[in-house]
Structure 1
Amino acid sequence: MPPDQAPDSPTADPAIVVVAVPTPLRRCFDYLPGNEQPAGGWCCGVRVRVTLGRRQVVGIVVDFRAHSDVERHRLKPIEALLDQTPLPADWLWLCRFTARYYQHSLGDTLANAMPVLLRQGRPLEARTRTRWFATEQGLATTAEQLGRARRQAELLGVLSQHRHGLVASAITAQGFDQAQLRGLHDKGLIDSTREWLAAPERRSGPVLAEPSLTLNHEQSAALAAMHEGLDRFHPVLLHGVTGSGKTEVYLQLIEAVLDRGRQALILVPEIALTPQTLERFRRRFSVAVVALHSGLNDNERLDAWEAARAGRARIIIGTRSAIFTPLAAPGVIIIDEEHDSSFKQHEGLRYHARDLAVVRAQHHAIPIVMGSATPALETLRHAHQGVYRHLRLTQRAGHARPADMRLVDLRGRPLRGGLGPQAMKAIGEQLDAGRQVLIFINRRGFAPSLSCHECGWIGECRHCDARLTLHRQPHQLICHHCDTRLPVPDACPSCGSADLRPQGAGTERTEETLSEAFPDTPVLRVDRDTTRRRDALEQTLTRVRRGEPCLLVGTQMLAKGHHFPHVTLVVVVNADGGLYSADFRAMEHSAALLTQVAGRAGRASHPGQVLIQTHHPDDPGLRLLIEQGFDALAEQLLEERRMARLPPWRHMVLIRAEGQDASMLHSVLEEGGNALRVWLGEQGLAVDCLGPVPAPMERRQTRWHVQLMLSAERRSALHRATAWLDEWLAAHPGSRRLRYSVDVDPQEMT
């Protein structure tokens, strides 16, 4: 039986144990049981330590066999048993499905789905802490009764003031020590309990810590429709304009799930959204809420993972990888901003968290809600077909009006830091009125390139087919693809001229321009460079929410899900960057981003305005977006995709190969493509094989990149073809000189 279909029932004394180990090889390895055995017998899902080559690794048991293809005397025994009980069966099922669907190694998939400490062999145990509290006898004891034990009396007084007690670290922070704790404990005046560091168990009581908000008619109708599917698989697209109150609908749906004793998993696209989402959920609910994202350290991540598995954490909020969090009692999955490309993993295991969430919800027979103002075309087509229930929210909450969107023609206009005269005037007017302004520019750094005015030289990366971005802090030329860093030259390396000029504008240059133009107004820049420090973004956003006049300059980190009630003007510095691209999804992604950015303006009592600067004001797609909105553009794009036989009307797989020799890459992929076409003809499978062609950025990090694309109307045929080509490439003699990846349902072609 294949490892991804193996039963999870215990096996008393297997002859051969099949273990999935973290390796790119798409096979599992046979081992002898060894001396240890789980208390309940061998079963799938227990972790073991095994020898692989010359190193020891942590693997997971996935199957059992009576015989092995390898001679028994050559098999190695399992070195150590790490678990007495298996990892959750539903988690193991999801990993098996993921590996099978995304054509990836099962061992590597399991490793990616586990916290780092579990991969290293750490026991599946969350950290605990000691909480001390005064007993009834202690509450009745006075300081005089303790006589000369003055510090004990002070400590007892402190604990008596805290009905739920104090943790040991808080006690020692106030200057008390273990001797005083022991003294009071020996007298029966205080006692202690052990509690989990993440999601400590709470006493029973109402799930709400504060009352829910009143819903409008559309929100109430959407919530009622969701309640109909609480006990079954019920996929819902909550299609609401920005500011329509989708989060409040989520919160009230989660309340119903919690009342049934179940858990809620909420996925958000960016780590930047996690703190504000956590704060809002923890204010609303009295149950334990945990976060799972890349900003946690290894101990924090394991604590949260275990709390969700054990059921103590009732609400789990996380980014993409949180889809692999085990749940003791799954009740609902919510994908906020479901259209966002951040839900797709672009390296290693190239899964899409939204799609896995749908599969997981179906497996558990629970509802899933996908919310967005700009749904992905794949999701929109499912809604049109009736596969997903389509619920609409067309009104902004609190009667806020939609922002007024206008195109600003930049042709022939002077620019300062990427901003035209109309934008500068509008910014000044809003600041004079005591408002806030958001300037969106999706390019970090000072300028996209540095060039010589005399000879036309442009600073380019010697490792990539890309230009070096000029930064002021630090003052360097930096490649945003391979992180090559070079000092800024004093003179042109080609002709020696000192007339070197920055071309275009990035966030740093726009920030500098605004600081000069509006010296009395703080300019807050938000991009990857300014938010590297932990909590840096949250501190900036807290300052913005205070409502004081300011200029907020940032990249797409600011476009997703943030609530800025005092922002009344949004300026998009350059709307043309994503309009013309080799990627057929470019217009979809650009339109969604512009719509999301525009949604940050006018979310409270003051009307909002959006100025979109462009050198192509007559672009038909851009005009349709401005005049009729994202929904009209999405319908047009869907029809164009249908005519062009592109997703979501067909399914795709992209084979990406890279190596030091470009001609060798083309040769191997061309040979593989031809062999696949012959095999497809023999099998009678309707799969198109296109390429190989150079990648849009052919040279990156000193390596050449080539692509081969497969497409078909039926997923089954496409997966069979992909699996065959994968085996062919793995067996080819030239495979050792290249690296290749299989990207099922690619979201980016560039």
Structure 2
Amino acid sequence: MPKRIANIAINTPVYSLFDYQIPSNMDVRIGNRVNVKFRNRDIVGVVFDIKEESLVDHVKLKEINSLVDNAPTFSPEYLSLISWVSLYYHYPIGQTLQTALPKYISDGKVIYEEDNFSESSIKQNKIFDYSDDQENAIGKISSNLEKFNCFVLDGITGSGKTEVYKNICEKVLKKNKQVAILSPEINLVPQLIDDFINISEVSQYHSGLTEKEKFINWCSIYKGYKKIIIGTRSSIFTPFNDLGLIIIDEEHDVSFKQQEGLKYNARDVAIYIAKNKNIPIILGSATPSLESINNIRKKSFIHIRMKNRVSKSTLPDLKIINMDNKKNKTISDEILLEIENRLKRNEQSLLFLNRRGYSPVIMCKNCSWIPRSKDNKLPMTYHKSKNLLICHHSAKCTPFKNICPTCGNKEFINIGEGTEKIEEIINYSFPNARIIRIDSDTTRKKGELEKIFKKARNNDYDILIGTQMLSKGHNFPNVTLVAILNIDQRLFSPNIKAIEQLAQQLIQVSGRAGRYNKKGKVFLQTSLPDNDNLKKLIKDGYENWAKDLLTYRKNLELPPHKNFSLFKAKSRDRMHANKFLENVKETLIKSKNIEIFGPIPSTFPKKNSLYNMHLVVQSNSKKDLNYALRDCINRVKNITYLNKVKWSIDIDPIDYD
């Protein structure tokens, strides 16, 4: 009787599965974790398939050493998901599986048994007085819970999307099914847990947990004992026991796209899962992504609008302040006066600047020398509080010695401003105010950000100064003034989604003001008040602006009307990266129905001492694009300069980095 062959996924940068013989006395099944010998190492693999034949001579095949679990750990449906993700994003299947699993599971730790967990119970939620918009949204979604539908819950800030989520969630839980809720940022998870903990026990899953915590929570979800799962993008790969609903909060956020390793978009993976499980998915946002708006146009997604705030308050007034004639001013007198008025009324002000540090560039006053990173030649940001020069792209830092190495001068000019400088100005202007700066420099300790947000909601601070951390999903009841301080550089960014992200951020951060019964005001400082995008956004609103942008992109054959990918190469020698991609281009050009541009340098041509270049590969057909890339991957091993570069593929990229 011929021995059976197991196709096993192993954590290695190879796109295929590996064949191992199954010992005759071993009951190996699809989905089992197994111990195998791989390149003289004992490692854990996962059985994806079992067959009778192998292309490799049976004499050369190694045997499986032992089973990790007697019963299969993974269902065929889960393995099918991992296979699809690997194929769609063109990433090795073993490394795809490794990305999806907590370390303890990958390492072969035994899954917690049933007596380690207690089953969640559904709690009685308080009766809520829903608005007409909320009632309409609940009605539309509730009548379609038994099949796949993708609902875009398009609700302005303060319209009460969370209460809609909670109502639908309760209905799904009553059917004894699980609900997965994805958030773009870890710092938004605690607030979501507070919102849903009154319905049922919640399990969280994200990179902020320890490996042990991730393992325990993964097991509780896997066994079906936790019904509500709240996490960031990685939580979409949890093997849910019986999933009935997926909610993607702030679906427009680019944080759902992973930028390193497996470059997946958790929102898109979630839609794939919902479609295959035939369950509903809700994409919630005050500023839906262009992809979602385009799918609404094509009737692929169901559009539900919520255009009124629950508190009956109106959206804040927005005023542009022209800084073109105020070159020596960082914060206009008008904004300082508005802050003073808020302090008198015991109301809060929020100052938004998406740039941390004191100054993005410092320059010698005598010879114009600028400190630059050795890795990428980009200017280093000055952090005054630590007296450090930090490269925000490589994270490398060096002490600032306050002396020019070129001419010996000790006088420097600060060009531009970061949150540290804004904090310094506000402290000087309002010495008695309670001020907090919120950025990644001040919130590094675990739990620190949650404490700050709680204090902000309790009115323990008068003035909040921060980066994009403040723009997403937070509810500050007493904030009535928002000042957006500098957005000019981003108006001309070459990145694909830059202008879309900027518009979303402006709307989102503006929505922090006047969310209850106090009228809010928003001020936008810019030296480009006549910019067409700004004028259109402010005059016509996000929805009309987005529709115009979609038309503009269609005329230029840009995403989401065209399918894009980047074939990336990194090398210590720029010529090696360029030559490698030239050879890749020669391979790709033989494929049908695709267009290729490049090789061209990345937005940051040099990063971490490596030169970055890429090809832009595009097609009207996603199928043709993926086929061409898959065929190219099979031929890459024969391409010259392969051993001189690190290469990767980015499907549906969000920028050209």
TM over 0.5: yes
Q: Which residue of 2 aligns with 1:228?
A: 143
User: Are residues 1:746 and 2:653 paired?
Assistant: yes
Partner of 2:172: helix, strand, or coil? helix
Among candidates 306, 313, 317, match of residue 404 of structure 1: 317
Quick check: 1:215 aligned with 2:127? no
Task: For 1:316-715, list aligned pairs within 5 A.
Answer: 316-413=229-326, 415=328, 418-677=330-589, 679-680=590-591, 685-715=592-622
Post-superposition Cα deviations, 1:46-67, rounded to whole Å, max 9, x if no partner, equal 1112121122221101122322
Distance in 1 (alpha carbons) for counterparts of 2:642 and 2:48 = 28
Q: Secondary structure at the match of 1:577?
A: helix
User: What is the one-letter code of the residue matched to 2:295?
Assistant: H
Tell me the alpha carbon deviations over residues 191-245 of structure 1, each in whole angstroms, 9 at most, x when there is no partner. xxx552xxx225x6xx234313211111101110001110000110001111110
Check whether the contact 1:195–1:201 (CA below 8 A) recurs between aligned residues: no
Match of 1:21 in 2: 10
Q: Deviations over 1:579-601 (max 9, x none)?
A: 10112321111000111000111
Q: What is the Cα deviation at residue 35 of structure 1?
A: 6.9
Separation of aligned partners in 2, 1:97 and 1:279: 34
2:630 is the alignment partner of 1:734:
no
Offset from partner CA, 1:74-116 (integer Å, 9 cap, x none) = 2222222101111232322211111111111111111111111
Please give the secondary structure, in 2, of the residue aligned with 1:480: coil
C-alpha distance in 2 between matches for 1:212 and 1:50 = 55
Contact 1:14 1:64 in 2 (8 A): no
Supply the AA of the counterpart residue of 2:291: E
Aligned residue type for 1:233: F
Q: Which among 95, 104, 119 is matched to residue 201 of structure 1?
A: 119
Name the CA distance, whole Å, in 2 between partners of 1:328 and 1:467: 50
Q: Distance in 2 between matches of 1:598 and 1:531?
A: 23
User: Which amino acid is 1:698 matched to?
Assistant: P
Q: Secondary structure at the match of 1:233?
A: coil
Give the Cα–Cα distance (whole angstroms) in 2 for the partners of residues 609 and 13 of structure 1: 77
Amino acid at match of 1:561: G
Q: Which residue of 2 aligns with 1:82?
A: 68
2:78 corresponds in structure 1 to 91
Tell me how far apart the structure 2 counterparts of residues 405 and 50 of structure 1 sit (CA, whole Å): 63
Instruction: Identify which range, 729-738 or 633-642, moves more after superposition.
Output: 729-738
Corresponding residue of 2:31: 45
Are 1:116 and 2:23 matched, yes or no?
no
Report SS of the residue matched to 2:623.
helix
Q: CA deviation at 1:13?
A: 8.4
Give, in whole Å, the separation in 1 of the partners of 2:65 and 2:116.
Answer: 33
Displacement after TM superposition at 1:415 (Å) = 4.6
Aligned residues: 656
Partner of 1:30: 19
Distance 1:14 1:636, change over 3 A: farther
2:211 is matched with which residue: 293, 298, 308?
298
Larger RCO (alpha carbons 8 Å, 6+ apart) = 2
**Structure 2 contact 579–641 (Cα < 8 Å) conserved:** no
Q: Which residue of 2 aligns with 1:242?
A: 157
Question: Deviation string for 1:585-639 (max 9, x for gaps)?
Answer: 2111100011100011111111111111111110010111111211121011101
Tell me if 1:313 matches 2:258.
no
1: distance between equivalents of 2:159 and 2:33? 46
Write the distance in 1 (CA, Å) between the matches of 2:433 and 2:324.
29
| Distance in 1, Cα, partners of 2:178 & 2:108 | 28
**Superposed, which structure 2 residues align to 1:3-22 within 5 Å?**
14-22=3-11
CA contact (8 A) 1:570 1:610 kept: yes
Retained in 1: the 8 A contact 2:142–2:168?
yes
Cα distance in structure 2, aligned partners of 1:749 and 1:469: 22
Q: Mean Cα displacement is larger for which, 357-366 or 539-548?
A: 539-548
Q: 1:719 aligns with which of 626, 637, 644?
A: 626
SS at match of 2:565: strand
Give the distance between the partners of 2:309 and 2:617, measured in 1 at CA.
Answer: 42
Checking the alignment, whether the CA contact within 8 Å between 2:455 and 2:461 is kept in structure 1 is no
AA in 1 matched with 2:536: L
- Match of 1:349, as an amino acid? L
- Counterpart in 2 of 1:149? none
Any stretches of 5+ residues in structure 2 without a counterpart? none
Change (3 A) 1:36 1:605: farther
Stretches of structure 1 that go unaligned for 5 or more consecutive residues are 1-11, 129-193
Report if the CA contact (8 A) 1:470-1:476 is conserved. yes
Structure 1 stretch displaced more, 405-414 or 444-453 = 405-414
Query: Aligned residue for 2:180?
Result: 265
In structure 2, how many angstroms separate the alpha carbons of the residues matched to 1:122 and 1:353?
26
SS at match of 1:48: strand
Q: For residues 195 and 725 of structure 1, do their structure 2 counterparts lie closer, same or farther at Cα, with a shift above 3 Å needed? A: closer
Q: What SS is found at the alignment partner of 1:579?
A: helix
1:274 to 174, 179, 189: 189
Q: Deviations over 1:241-290 (max 9, x none)?
A: 111100100000101111111111000110000011101111x21x2211
Aligned to 1:155: none
Task: Give the Cα separation in 1 of the matches to 2:612 and 2:460.
Answer: 49
Residue 151 of structure 1: aligned partner: none
CA distance in 2, matches of 1:612, 1:582: 22
Aligned-pair Cα RMSD in Å: 1.5
Q: Work out the CA distance in 2 between the residues paired with 1:602 and 1:488.
A: 41
Q: Tell me the distance in 2 between the aligned counterparts of 1:698 and 1:713.
A: 28
- Does the CA-based 8 Å contact 1:14-1:42 persist in structure 2? no
CA positional deviation for 1:675: 3.0
- Matched position secondary structure for 1:59: strand
CA contact (8 A) 1:526 1:558 kept: yes
Q: Which amino acid aligns with 2:215?
A: L
Give distance in 1, aligned partners of 2:514 and 2:7: 59
C-alpha displacement at 1:709, in angstroms?
A: 0.9
DSSP 3-state at the match of 1:362: helix
1:57 is aligned to 43
Deviation of residue 400 (structure 1)? 1.6
Specify whether residues 728 and 258 from structure 1 end up closer, same or farther in structure 2 by C-alpha distance, changes over 3 A only: same
The SS at the match of 2:637 is helix
Preserved contact between residue 288 and residue 312 of structure 1 (Cα < 8 Å)? no
The answer to whether the 8 Å contact 2:3/2:23 transfers is no
Partner AA of 1:273 in structure 2: L
Bigger radius of gyration, 1 or 2?
1
Cα distance in 1, alignment partners of residues 221 and 429 from structure 2: 51
1:250 alignment partner AA: Y
Distance 1:280 1:676 in 2: 50
Partners of 2:461 and 2:611 lie apart in 1 by: 49
Partner residue, 1:104: 91
Secondary structure (helix, strand or coil) at the match of 2:492 reads coil
* Superposition deviation, residue 14 in structure 1: 5.0
